[in-house]
Every structure is written in structure tokens, then in C-alpha cells.
Amino acid sequence: MPVTQQIIKTIVRQQIKEELVPTNQKIDSLARDTDKKFATVNQRFDVVNTKLDKVMEIVVDFAGQVKKFDEEQTVLSDHVSNLTDRVEKIELAIN
């Protein structure tokens, strides 16, 4: 390769590098800003997830209590039905 061509390539490469410095700096700055924004969004998601976990605990506890109440109602209903049957038998026996 002739010396002149080598010198021209070197000068062109150096010029391109110098021209790209502001662009690279801008890209780096945008990348840092984007990273900060993603970090902020992730922190907010963590807060939301923590709150959702608490809500889910409350919902699960409430559902358990409703199920327990329903089971108690079923047992009490059966007792009332048995007592009603006994009262009807006694009424029939008296009459």
C-alpha cells in the first residue's frame, strides 16, 4: 500500500473518531438516563408487588374465614333441622 494512501486512511480514521466522540458521549448519556429510569420503574414495581402481596394475604385470610363461617352455618343448619324434626315428632305425639 502506498504511503500516501496509508496516510489518507489514518487521517480519515482519526477524523471519524473525532467526529464520533460527541455522538458516543450522547449515546452514553442516554444509556445512563435510561438505566436510571428503568431502576426507578423497577423500584415502583417492587413497591406495587409488596402491596399486592399484602392484599393477597388479606384476601386469602378473608376467604378462609368465609369458608369457616360457611362450614359453621352448614353444621348449625343441620342441628336446627334435627331439632325441628324432633319438635314435630313431639307435637304429633302430643296431639
- Whole-angstrom CA distances from 18 to 6, 25, 32 are 18, 11, 22
Write out pLDDT tens, residues 16-57.
888 889 999 999 999 999 999 999 999 999 999 999 999 999
Give the separation between CA 26 and CA 56, rounded to whole angstroms. 44
Predicted local confidence at residue 8, as pLDDT: 87
Mean pLDDT of 52-69: 96
pTM of the model: 0.54
Give the separation between CA 51 and CA 25, rounded to whole angstroms. 39
